[in-house]
Amino acid sequence: MQTELIQIIKEAGEILKEGFYGTKETSFKGKKDLVTPYDLAIEAHLKEKFSQTFSSFNIIAEESDNTHVEFGDSIIIDPIDGTTNFVNGLVHCAISVGVYKNKKPFIGIVYNPILDQLYYAEIGKGAYLNDKKISVNQDHELMTSLIATGFPYTGATHKQDLEFVITNLEVILPRCQDIRLLGSAALDICMVASGIYGGYYEINLKPWDVSAGIIILSEAGGKISNIEGKPYDMFEDKCLVASNTQIHDEMLSLLKA
Ligand code: IPD
Ligand code: CA
Ligand code: CA
């Protein structure tokens, strides 16, 4: 299944690339939440090919109405993670596809066609960037770890979400090597998996932001939880905490819900 998935995602990557280097119309789904015709075209391409090739799976996709799709044997798609970057010409954007069998993680693929970086993992088989095996770094202290986070779009409309961002920056920033915010949750999690970041946290993520990344990170030796340290539920939990495993408890002890 992995080879066919990758082939289809690479085809969709050509659409992303065309849009990235071309002119694009944009519209807003929310106060800050952008969508372009390329999000829709990539999603349509993936849905058509996946439903032909993997007919026993249903599809949950960001730009679709998922009301009647029950999570089970499912392919979860984010056609462009990092749409704000895509629109502004910042290279940190990717197609994210997570495959679940009976609600259990199976295959995760995150593809940045601009940098030609393909992260993938299948449960039990390790995590890879292009053809190279990746693993989390060995930093065991927050102070020597580079940390990533994101700004939720809802920070513009929900005061408590903006407060989460500010409060936790105040707590984490002085206690880590530095913080980066590049605007693609899927790639941020993959960069914990490849050992660049020691950890990452964010609120209000959706299943399509993380469905693939969490599989890749767990296969790379990382840890994912909610803010209480319990297993992260991508449909229910507000906050995701991801790390190289070693600094996980330290992050949990500092982050404030
Ligand atoms: C967004 C990105 C961003 C995160 C937002 C997501 P989108 O996804 O992952 O990093 O901060 O919460 O919604 O809208 O570009 O697919
Ligand atoms: Ca996304
Ligand atoms: Ca998206």
Count of CB atoms situated within 10 Å of the CB of 166: 10
One domain for residues 119 and 198: no
Residue with tokens 């002085």: 174
Q: Which of 205, 207, 211, 224 is nearest to 164 (CA)?
A: 205
pLDDT at 247: 98
Residue nearest to atom 13 of ligand 1 (CA): 205
Q: Which ligand is nearest to the CA of 79?
A: 3
pTM across the whole model: 0.97
pLDDT at 38: 96
pLDDT in tens, 7-56: 999 999 999 999 999 987 888 877 777 889 999 999 999 999 999 999 99
One domain for residues 35 and 130: yes
The continuous run of DSSP H or E covering 35 comes out as: strand 34-35
Q: Name all residues whose Cβ lies below 6 A of ligand 1.
A: 33, 78, 80-84, 150-153, 183-185, 202, 204-205, 209
One domain for residues 115 and 168: no
Separation of CA 167 and ligand 3 centre (Å): 26
One domain for residues 234 and 110: no
- Cα–Cα distance between 221 and 145 in angstroms, integer? 16
- Cα–Cα distance between 107 and 71 in angstroms, integer? 15
**For each of the chain's 257 residues, which pLDDT tens digit applies?**
989 999 999 999 999 999 999 987 888 877 777 889 999 999 999 999 999 999 999 999 999 999 999 999 999 999 999 999 999 999 999 999 999 999 999 999 999 999 999 999 999 999 999 999 999 999 999 999 999 999 988 777 888 999 999 999 999 999 999 999 999 999 999 999 999 999 999 999 999 999 999 999 999 999 999 999 999 999 999 999 999 999 999 999 999 99
One domain for residues 33 and 116: yes
Residue ranges near ligand 2 (ion) with Cβ within 5 Å: 78, 81, 209
Which atom of ligand 1 is nearest to 85's Cα?
Answer: 15
Which residues on neighbouring strands pair with residue 27, listed in sequence order?
Answer: 35
Range of the domain at 85: 2-134
Which atom of ligand 1 is nearest to 153's Cα?
Answer: 12
One domain for residues 15 and 67: yes
Q: What is the largest CA-CA distance in the chain?
A: 51
φ, ψ for residue 29, nearest 5 deg: -90, -30
One domain for residues 98 and 11: yes
